[in-house]
Amino acid sequence: MEIVLASGNLGKLREFESILDSCPLVIRPKSDFGIPDPEETGRTFRENALIKARAASRHCGLPALADDSGLAVDGLDGAPGVHSARYAGPGASDRQNIAKLLGRLEGMQSGMRSATFHCVIAMVQHGEDDCPALFFGSWAGRIATTPSGSHGFGYDPVFYLPEFDCTAAELGPEVKNAVSHRARALEQFREWIRKADFPSDILNPNNGEES
C-alpha cells in the first residue's frame, strides 16, 4: 500500500522511516508530489494533524498520514504547544525556538520546568474521509537549563529525561525511536494497520485496472 506522509520536517521523516521500517507500506514524502503546506489553523494537535493529512490526500489522491506534535511546558501553561514549530516566529530555527523557551523559563522554580512532548498521528484514506484514524503518544521530561547533544531535532537538546540522565538529543536514534511520543503513537498505528479492514482499492490502487 502506497501512502503519502504529509510532513516537510526532515527530523520527523527520518523517525517515521526508521520506526515503520518493517511495516508493509510504501511511504512517500509529500515533497515527491510538490504538496504545499496547508495553514495549520487548528487549536489542537488533533485538528492540525487532520488538516495536514486531508490536504495531502486531496492533492495527490493517495491515503495520507500526518503528524502534529509539540512540547507542552507546565510552567508556561502548556506553551509552546501547537505553536512549537514557530515559537520564535515564522521560519524560526530550532536554535531560536530553544533560545526563546530557555529565556521564558529563566528564574522559574525547577518544578515549573516539567514538560511533555505530544504527538497525534492522523491517517485518512482519501481527502474527504470522515472516519479518520487517530493515534496518540506522549513523553514526559523536563526542560534543561542549557542545550546538549546533537541527535534528533527541534527541542531534543533541552528535553531532559531523568530515567536516562541525559537529553533526548544525547540518546541515540534507536533509543529515542523506541520510547518517544512519536514511537508510542506509531506503535499503535502499526498495530492498527496490521488489522485494518481496507477496501481492496485502497490496498491496491491499481485494482481492476490493466497494468
Binding mask 7-46 toward ligand ITT (x if CB under 6 A, else -) reads xxx--x---------------------------x------
Site for ligand ITT, residues 89 to 148, rule: CB under 6 A: 97, 117
Identify whether the C-beta of residue 193 lies closer than 8 Å to the C-beta of residue 25.
yes
Alpha-carbon distance of 92 to 77, in angstroms, equals 21
CB-based burial, 181-210: b 16+ in 10 Å, e otherwise: bbbbbbeebeeebeeeeeeeebeeeeeeee
Residue span binding ligand ITT (CB under 6 A) among the ranges 21-29, 65-73, 184-192, 200-208: 65-73
Alpha-carbon distance of 126 to 59, in angstroms, equals 10
Q: Which of 16, 135, 155, 160 binds ligand ITT (CB under 6 A)?
A: 155
Alpha-carbon distance of 92 to 117, in angstroms, equals 19
Using CB under 6 A as the binding rule, whether residue 67 contacts ligand ITT is answered as yes
Q: Measured from the CB of residue 209, what is the shortest distance to ligand ITT in angstroms?
A: 32
Q: Among all residues, whose Cβ is closest to ligand ITT?
A: 154
Q: Measured from the CB of residue 87, what is the shortest distance to ligand ITT in angstroms?
A: 7
Cα-Cα-Cα-Cα torsion 37, 42, 45, 46, nearest 10 degrees, comes to: -100
Phi, psi at residue 94, to the nearest 5°? -60, -40
Using CB under 6 A as the binding rule, whether residue 70 contacts ligand ITT is answered as yes
Active site residues: 68
Q: Measured from the CB of residue 200, what is the shortest distance to ligand ITT in angstroms?
A: 30
User: Which residues, other chains included, contact 22 with Cβ-Cβ below 8 Å and sequence gap of 6+?
Assistant: none
Residue 115 corresponds to which cell in the numbers above?
514538560
Query: In terms of CB distance, is 127 or 205 closer to ligand ITT?
Result: 127
Query: In terms of CB distance, is 8 or 205 closer to ligand ITT?
Result: 8
Query: In terms of CB distance, is 140 or 203 closer to ligand ITT?
Result: 140
Using CB under 6 A as the binding rule, whether residue 69 contacts ligand ITT is answered as yes
Residue span binding ligand ITT (CB under 6 A) among the ranges 69-77, 106-114, 123-131, 195-203: 69-77
Angle between helix 181-195 and helix 10-19 axes, rounded to 10 deg: 50
Alpha-carbon distance of 180 to 190, in angstroms, equals 15
